Amino acid sequence: MNTDPLHEVINTCRFTKAPDLDALDLSGLTDIQWRADRCTPSSILCFQRFDDGRTDAEIIERYLAHSAFGALVTNRPLGAGQEAGMRQTESTLLEPLGGRPVFVTAPDAWGETLERLCDHFYPTGPAQWQIAGVTGTNGKTTTIKYLESILLAAGRKVLSIGTLGLSLNGQPLAETGFTSPPYIELRRILSDCRAEADTLVMEVSSHALHQGRVQGLRFAAAAWTNFSQDHLDYHGDEASYFAAKAMILDQLADGVPLLTTSAEVERRLRVERETEVSVARIEAAPIPDEALRARPFLALSFNRANSALACALATRLLGSEPEAPWHALQPVAGRFDCFVHQQRTIVIDFAHTPDALENILGAIREAFPQAKILTLFGCGGDRDRSKRPLMGAAVCRGSDQVILTSDNPRFEEPQAIADDTLAGMRDCLEPPILILDRAEAIAALFDHLAARPDDESWVALIAGKGHEPYLDQQGVKRPYSDRDQVQLNLRRLGWEMT
């Protein structure tokens, strides 16, 4: 009997189809990968197959045939998804793989299989960390960064994972390209960083929960910020999206409640989950005047809610309530990033859903009651089309003037995206201005502000991209930054920050 440690691990996994292990020499397999283009002949490629409209033959040709992996683990038999009349025998379909071993997990065993393989290759895993997770449609990044700041101020060593990438003890470490990285990547990160941190705080997306990217993690503290329409291109409908987010309840350690500031999330969880759930709703406490003067971003109601969640999460992790935690808070990149010149306030924010736009425009109206509001925004391509008119309508309700532009059109035509958005913008106070080139649109925003009387107060919201340093169009991410464009136009007009 083969006693190679990797053989023993694979023997414990549940497969519906696997080659004869005793006839295989796995000693040359030394690493595990989730991306086919990162494999070497020594790699086990763990390839999770989704229903994305492609046939298995297309998937094999696109991702697998030209990869150098030494063995393949997948979540369903290749060939099971072929259209009627186009079926190939399995042996013919797998010919491009050159006889390399293929393991197919049982239908419910994908997550546990990855966990066991990662325990072999990255033995320092989640059990060695204290972990906090935050899900929600909006506010995940801000809440996590606030929590990170509070914990660092309390002396904790913290690894932060989210939309802004990896941060280790307050210092940017790397970009991941994901809100929540795939499970294998997460395990690699935890293994690499364990010597320098002991507390993990992470954003947990609906995709991550649905795809098992947080398999085996047990949250010592967890929160759900809010819920509104998003990602229906992936989940299909709102109920499936909510159900995916509710899977965070399965990740809670024993006795840990799910924290939320949303009465609707609390009510719906209690109604829709068959078993009793432990949900604790947090009320945002009043912010002292001293804190508002020092941290003006706390004037926004949703930032106060995010900070309240961060404080409650920190209390669970630290075992006691931090004193005056607002001292530790800092603005979050691309989240209500402000530039002020006299009576002109320019705000860059990542808001890119109907609810997020509604919230930030309402917060601006509350915080700047005398100001007129000019909003520049666009909708992303190859994403949920149904939210485009809803975003347009939300911006019209909250703005005195609107500039509609592009925001990562991807493989769609920018004009077609704009047409979908304009369908919801019939009730704007002033007809929206359409400028598809985003840099030109921001220049026009500044020209509009410059043309208004000096004593008029204006807030200009540039929404959608926030921290992102690129525009994604036709498969190319070209360098671009809203922040750079704002600074360029401030210099162009000779406006000094006040």
DSSP string of 211-268, one letter each residue: TTTTTT--BSEEEE----S--HHHHSSHHHHHHHHHGGGGGBPTTPPEEES-HHHHHH
- 354, pLDDT greater than 50: yes
pLDDT of 277: 72
**What mean pLDDT, rounded, does the chain reach?**
91
**Angle at which helices 263-272 and 238-246 pack, to 10 degrees?**
90
Amino acid at 329: L
- SS3 assignment, position 44: strand
Instruction: Verify that 393 and 416 share a domain, yes or no.
Output: yes
Q: Report strand pairing: 221-224 vs 130-135.
A: parallel
- Grade residue 84 by pLDDT with cuts at 50, 70 and 90: very low
Instruction: Verify that 309 and 187 share a domain, yes or no.
Output: yes
pLDDT of 274: 64
Round to whole Å and give the CA distance between 168 and 154: 15
Average pLDDT value for residue range 409-431:
97
Round to whole Å and give the CA distance between 445 and 131: 43
Instruction: Verify that 276 and 323 share a domain, yes or no.
Output: yes
pLDDT digits (tens, 9 = 90+) for 241-287: 899 999 999 999 999 999 999 999 999 998 887 666 789 999 988 88
- 86, pLDDT greater than 50: no
Instruction: Verify that 155 and 10 share a domain, yes or no.
Output: no
pLDDT of 367: 84
pLDDT digits (tens, 9 = 90+) for 276-303: 678 999 998 888 888 888 887 888 888 9
Round to whole Å and give the CA distance between 318 and 306: 18
Report if residue 190 sits inside a domain.
yes
Instruction: Verify that 300 and 315 share a domain, yes or no.
Output: yes
Report if residue 498 sits inside a domain.
no
pLDDT of 140: 93
Q: Please report the beta strands in 354-430, taking only residues with DSSP state E, as ranges in sequence order.
A: 372-377, 401-404
- Grade residue 212 by pLDDT with cuts at 50, 70 and 90: confident
- Grade residue 91 by pLDDT with cuts at 50, 70 and 90: low
pLDDT of 85: 45
- 221, pLDDT greater than 80: yes
Domain boundary among 121, 148, 175: 121
Residue recorded with tokens 């750079």: 484
Instruction: Verify that 217 and 322 share a domain, yes or no.
Output: yes
Round to whole Å and give the CA distance between 346 and 334: 12
Put simply, whether the predicted model's pTM sits higher than 0.75 gets the answer yes
Alpha helices per DSSP H over 273-318: 289-294, 301-318
Round to whole Å and give the CA distance between 255 and 220: 9
- SS3 assignment, position 350: coil
- SS3 assignment, position 433: strand
pLDDT of 302: 86
Round to whole Å and give the CA distance between 259 and 307: 12
* CB contact at 8 A, 144 and 162: yes
> Total domain count for the chain?
3
Domain that holds residue 407: 337-493
Instruction: Verify that 468 and 344 share a domain, yes or no.
Output: yes
pLDDT digits (tens, 9 = 90+) for 157-207: 999 999 999 999 999 999 888 889 999 999 999 999 999 999 999 999 998
